[in-house]
Structures are given as structure tokens and as C-alpha cells.
Structure 1
């Protein structure tokens, strides 16, 4: 037995899968992946999820030895795209690239034909990212205190756009309403890029979207960033204060993006997908490009991602209950 083989055996199954090449994982007795892999991004092109997965796509395809096709299927807070993947054969050829909305939607969207907790298996987290509260350039409030004051002066008249009903931005807005004692008007879009364009045009007062979607509009002076939703300053707009440090201690709504497969996908395939994702998020050039879009790259295992989901599901349930967010 060679030294390399002894080392791989000692490292365990995941290392063997990663070293063996695309033929290592078997699904239904066939070599996997046996054809191009489809990843459903349930939000609009140009938004957070779409941007991140397209940055990861080349390195993942390189690792798997098959093309990866990104398909945008928008609507209903990500549940339309999720439903497509939930009904797909569990063979690893159709996957879901979601955000923390994966935890939010089942709590507020009624009549779903699938159960998020049982219909998917986590593959791995890709990035972590805060949402950004930004206002149009002529908005009277220039910081969070001014924003809250404007909302209190005219309850229900301050509009804010998000990537959709049940999105992290929607939950962040509802949480801010609850903590600050204000009433805002939620305007859902199919993606953060659309909300950013409407803010730049002056059609809405504010947005709660990712740095990736809003930073270009802030940089060219068509909008003003005033606060981050994360517990600490992070990402490409880390010069902005957090909502927590601006008068609402304990406020934290940090989003993420991660990869999911339909429940029942063979474990060797999940292991291979996880290795492909880590290959991409661990690449220095990819990490640098992700950072420029306001994302912190993450390299974890399926078990670590699953543990995070279990912890955050309970937190999200509490926030939804306390904030009273509902789908109308």
C-alpha cells in the first residue's frame, strides 16, 4: 500500500471521494455526475444568490468534471424554486442554492406542497452576508435615528423594498418595526437588484437588501447606506454602523447562502457536492471576488451546515413570532 493510499484511508471517506475524481460518487448504479448539474437559484438574476452561485460555478464545474447550469426560478420568497428542487429526482443533478429565507418561508407562507425540514438535505454553506438598510438620496433621515423619526412622523408611509415576501430583508424590516415601534410599508420584489433600481429611481423610500445589490447604487451617489443588519460590521460596506450599535442592542439578521439537494440523495453524492463547494469557496481568487460583493466565504461540511440550520431555525421562529410578520 502506497503512502498516499494509506493517508487517504486514514483521512476517511470524504477525502477518498475528493481524490477519486468525478467517477467516485455513484447514484443509482451510475457514475455521477453523468450529465450537467442544474442549480436552481430562486431569485432574480443580478441579486445576491444569483451573483454568489455564478462566482462559484466555474470552480465547482471544474471539480465535478461536468458543466453546471444556473436556472433562475423566482417568486413567492424563494418557494417556487425550492418546490421545483423538492420534486426533482434525488440523484444530485438538480440542486437548490438558497439563503436564510429557506428558514423563514415555511413559517409565513401557507399552503406549501412540501416541507422544508424534510424535503432537502444540506450540502454546505457558501457565504455569510449582512443585509443593508439604505434610503434614497433625498430621504430626510440620514442615519438610523433619522429613519426611525421619519417613520414615526408618518406611520405606514415609509416604503422599503426587499427581495420578496419572506426574504431576510422582509424579516429584518419586521424586526426593526417591532424593536423601534414603527410601521413601515413593505414592497416585495423578485430580487434585490430590482429593489435597488427602484430606490435609485426614487420610487421607494428605502431598501433592506444585500451589499452586493445596493453597493453600486450607493457608490454612485444614487442612494445612502445607513445601517447593517448583522451583529458586527462586516462585508464590503463595513464602514456603515450596525442597527445593534445604533440604538437596538442584540439586533442581528445575518444572511447566508448555501447549497441543498433533494432528500434521499445518496450520501456519496452529497459528499462529492460538498467537496466541490469547498473547492470553490476555498479558492483565493473566488474568496476575493466574493469579498468585493460583501460576502464572507465559508468552508464547512454538510454536518456543520445542518447544525447551523437547526440552531437558526429556532431563532427565526422566535423573531417571526415576536415581529408578527405574515404573508398577506
Structure 2
């Protein structure tokens, strides 16, 4: 009996210590890793979230860009970090899609990360350099068919939702359009804006200003229906790909085995942040749909999305050496 009492006492003390730690968390700056160069939508969402969490939780949440290997370098740094809540990751579906098409990644998406919150989602747009002689996706693909050496796609990363959408369109159109991978959306956008690359599929927030200014030409959107901010731009589904739909979403993760109390605290604060006027002001006008879904719902969402991306990767036979 004494042994059981001692065990119960130790367990209660441990739980009490974890609860106290969560109550005082954070007591120093928190690092949010973005595994891409600045300038893309992942970076934008992370910076808006960091600003709001800093205001809510009374400690700096600092974004650190660690680009490379299609997001794997920064993501791996989080997977291998101490699970204490002071190193977090903001990522897109690239985290789950990249391992489906490459032979080896340095982490296990399920075991090495703790899902905290689904932040939200945005439509994607097929956008071209204005000098490309095509005003919609059908014309762009016809151009690629007749002048294949003149047409190329840029993408933020191998395995990104943008890359997967490009591969799906290539497969559906039976075309071999070159896809050039960059270290993030910002770098890919720069080359499309400069005319070195013909087009990009990008999340609306990072391309909207360029489309509005005429520096990019919107050819199609990847949602099921047209979007209010681009009412005259047809969907990919309308452009010869019935049923096509793919959006980009963003999530907050910690390292694997993040304590439940800290995960819960972060999830609650993140949900509050996603409902804030700051998010509505900075992201709402760019078709960002905030979520703030917590760990369980986010985990279930990830499981469903893995199945969606696995099907696309299989059907399009996307394999990267």
C-alpha cells in the first residue's frame, strides 16, 4: 500500500509541476520557425500570428526563417528541438506532402510533431508574367503545347500545395511543363515578376498586390467556385479540369511530445489570435479564412489531407529523386 501511495504522490507532484509550468508559460521569448525565405504566405501568416501572440501572452514571439530542402531544414530543426513550447513551427501542407514524393526526409510527420492549431486557409491562383500571351489557363496550356520551350512554372518548394497543383494540372493536360523549385514563394515570385519564369501557382495573399497592380496576370483560381476578390477569373475546374479543388492551409506545430498543458494553452491563445481584428485586417481582405481549430480537430484534418495528397501524388506519379 505504501508503494502505491508513494507512486500516487510522485504522479500528483509531476502533474502539479507541469500545470505550474504551463501557467507561467511563456517566461521568455518564443521562436516560431518558418522554413522558407521571407515574402510568402507562410511567412506572412506566421508574422501576423507572432505579433498577436506577443500582445496576448506578454513575451516576444519571434519569427525565424530557416529555408532549404523544400522546408525540410527548418521543419527538422523544430522536430529535434526541446519540447518545451519555446520552439514552434508554422507550415503549410508541404509538411505532409513532401514526404510522399521524396525517398527520405529526416523526420516522421506524425511522430515528431505535435499539432497545435489549424490557423486557416486561402485559395490559390495561377498567375503569369504579364508578357505571357495568355489571358486564362486554357490559353496558357495551349501555349505550352505549341511552344513548350517558352513556358515554365515556378514553385515555392517541392511538395508544396502550389507544386502539387502544378503537377496535377500538368498530368490532366498531358503536358510536360518544367517546374523550377525555389527556397520559398518570395524567391519564386521575384523570377515570375521579372519574366524569367512564365507563371506560378501561389496563395492569394502573397500575389494579390501584384495582381492588383498589373505586375501579374491571374489566369485561374484553384477553389471549387470563383472568389469575390477575383470575380472575373475562372476556376481551374472551369478551365477543363472538372472537380479540381485545392487550397493552401497553414498550421502551428510544436516538437513531438509537447506537454499537453502547454499545447492546450497555445491552442487557446492561437484560436483567440485568429479571431482578432489584426488577422481580419492583415489577412481577411486577401481571402484568408481563419480557423483556430485545436489539436484534436487539427490532427483529424491532417489525416484527411494526407489521404488527399497521397491520391494526387499517386495519380500524377509525382516522384522526386
Shift of 1:313: 0.5
Residue correspondences, number: 306
Q: 1 CA distance for matches of 2:65 and 2:229?
A: 25
SS of the equivalent of 2:24 reads strand
Shift of 1:238: 5.1
SS of the equivalent of 1:164 reads coil
Q: Match of 2:48?
A: 55
| Aligned partner of 2:86 among 87, 93, 96 | 93
SS of the equivalent of 2:110 reads helix
| Aligned partner of 1:296 among 270, 289, 312 | 289
| Aligned partner of 1:203 among 196, 213, 224 | 196
Q: Match of 1:323?
A: 316
Q: After superposition, where does 1:19-168 map in structure 2 within 5 Å?
A: 26=19, 31-155=24-148, 157-168=150-161
Q: 1 CA distance for matches of 2:59 and 2:111?
A: 28
Q: 1 CA distance for matches of 2:42 and 2:18?
A: 27
Q: 1 CA distance for matches of 2:52 and 2:306?
A: 30
Contact 1:44 1:190 in 2 (8 A): yes
Shift of 1:31: 3.4
Please say if 1:253 is aligned against 2:246: yes
When normalised by structure 1's length, the TM-score is: 0.88
Deviations 1:226-247 (A, max 9, x none): 1111223347445422101222
Contact 2:72 2:106 in 1 (8 A): no
Contact 1:42 1:80 in 2 (8 A): yes
Q: 1 CA distance for matches of 2:128 and 2:52?
A: 36
Q: Match of 2:269?
A: 276
Contact 2:92 2:250 in 1 (8 A): yes
Contact 1:156 1:183 in 2 (8 A): no
Shift of 1:310: 0.6
Q: 1 CA distance for matches of 2:228 and 2:124?
A: 10
- Once superposed, what is the RMSD of the aligned Cα atoms? 2.0
Where do 5+ consecutive residues of structure 1 fail to align? 1-23
Where do 5+ consecutive residues of structure 2 fail to align? 1-16
Contact 2:22 2:261 in 1 (8 A): no
When normalised by structure 2's length, the TM-score is: 0.90
Contact 2:222 2:247 in 1 (8 A): yes
Q: 2 CA distance for matches of 1:196 and 1:242?
A: 21
Q: 2 CA distance for matches of 1:289 and 1:29?
A: 30
